[in-house]
Amino acid sequence: MPLGLLGKKLGSTRVYNAAGVLIPVTVVLAGPNRVLQVKTQAGKDGYNSVQLGFDDQKEQRLTKALAGHIKKHNGVAVKRIKEFRNFTKDVKPGEVVGADLFAPGDYIDAIGTTKGRGFEGVVKRHRFAGGDMTHGAKGWHRRSGAIGQRLFPGTVMRGMRMPGHMGQDTRTTQNLEVVQVLPEDNLILIKGSIPGAEGDYVVIRESKKRPKGWKPPVAANVSKKKADAKAAPAKK
């Protein structure tokens, strides 16, 4: 992940672009991110990466191992630490990076933890249709039905879709467009939704499929090509 930031999802709103089109956006507080450590391929670590810390924390609330690691690199106590490999921006320990790493028009991938839904049945968890509401069906309206096991194999097959815990999974939403960047407030307005509830921590990284400078392909006008082909004189 060449460029990335740790942030916090603040909520959703909507903004107008230059053409007056209403765009739904998610507001992310993406800074300040403090550079805690810089690893290099030539060093003992053997690879290039940057460790970023986000959201200041009281030092007494850290574990001794984490507090020792931060103190070793003359850093500040933080709540979240994330390592980004092959960070393309040249930074040094102690520096602060923020929302200005990205610009309007860039595409990002957002990584977060989905909302916890608790214990759910198959209708909500797996979108099962359930049983009939009529024709004498009693007590099977939201059940999964038979799971198809008798003498052989005599056990439930792995991966069987059944009731269980739903949510609180790590999910990545790709190719989201950055609509606005407010560097003075460390805010990034991202088109669409990202995983997580309001106040959850998220990771914003440069899109793997649409890196900086990516432009959408120009759609070919098929009807115009057909018209030009018909108007062209036939070859003898």
Short-list 55, 58, 62, CA closest to 8: 55
DSSP letters, 63-115, are: -HHHHHHHHHTT---EEEEEEEET--S---TT-EE-GGGS-TT-EEEEEEEPP
Judge whether 99 and 187 are in contact, CB under 8 Å.
yes
Topology, domain 4-116+168-231: Elongation Factor Tu (Ef-tu); domain 3 (2.40.30)
Q: What is the β-pairing status of strands 170-182 and 107-113?
A: antiparallel
Instruction: Pick out the chain residues at pLDDT < 50.
Output: none
Q: How far is Cα 144 from Cα 76, in angstroms, rounded to an integer?
A: 52
Give the helix, strand, coil percentages of the chain, each rounded to 5. Answer: 15, 35, 50
pLDDT at 181: 95
pLDDT at 225: 64
Q: How far is Cα 115 from Cα 59, in angstroms, rounded to an integer?
A: 29
Domain residue ranges in the chain: 4-116+168-231, 117-166
pLDDT at 137: 85
Q: How far is Cα 83 from Cα 2, in angstroms, rounded to an integer?
A: 11
Question: pLDDT by residue (tens digit) across 149-181?
Answer: 888 888 888 899 999 999 999 999 999 999 999
Place of tokens 């092959």: 86
Residues 19-33: b if buried by 16+ CB within 10 A, e if exposed: eeeeeebbbbbbbbb
CATH 4.10.960.10 fits 117-166, yes or no: yes
